[in-house]
Chain A
Amino acid sequence: MHFTKDHEWIAVEGDIATVGITNYAAEQLGDVVFVELPEVGKVLKPGDSLAVVESVKAASDVYSPISGEVIAANDGLTGNPETVNQAPESLAWFARVKLANAAEVTGLMDRAAYEAYLQSL
């Protein structure tokens, strides 16, 4: 698993990347009430909005760390947004993206580096 400074995680299998937000992010956001997911087929560049996570009092954009085409979105979150609080780094993935440039992933943090980064905040 790879991590970004914006508290996203990316798990890569072959050329497919699964993206979600970290335990830390889910905790900071509080009770998640809605996730606006990307449409399948959307082509992303790094920095594009991948999803919007809403709590009662805030809406936060999740920016894509990678380039590629969205091939699946986790529709299960629509009826059960609390999954983001319960299992952010597993069941609550947001989207699967067909990677356009695998090198973008290698530049990201591993878990140890991310933990160290969290300590520094």
Chain B
Amino acid sequence: MEVTTRELWTLIHGMGFGAIFLLAFAGGLAGLYSFKPEWVTVSGINERARRLQIGMWVLAAVVWLTVITGTWVVYPWYRAAPPAGIDTKVAAQLLNYPRYFLLASKTTAEWHTFGMEWKEHVAWLAPIAATVVAFVTSHYGATLSKHPQIRRAAAIFFILAFVAAAAAGAFGAFITKAAPLH
């Protein structure tokens, strides 16, 4: 049993950073939604504000790390062109070149032309939205509980971050299954 460097980075990118954000999303959204003065005590409101700030900044950092490792570490291996002499129409010769492996067959081509093409772009919306949410929580602190309009806006941006990350994450999982990086 062994894990190659490429497999390890794919794991760090998807099952590490990416999964942390997707799994923690529900907790973050619940935290934003329930941050109402009528639902917490004074000591509770300060603790909740601090927890939201730390949680949202950690999630923002994690989603930045997800897209940075995905684009700058894993993606170049995915899109690397095979050397001269390898027939790009023969899938069996392209196992180390996932992009070309997928494109070699009509039955798998759409994992690249739709799946990867969507994933590689839409994912970058997630860290932008998540950073805004983190900033909102630290700028307002405990007073965020008295600003329902801002809290609603932050929740919408947080959901947008999740939608972008979930689309990218789902296709990442499918593509890795169809054409794993070795």
Q: Do A and B come from one complex?
A: no
Binding site for A on B (CB under 8 A): none
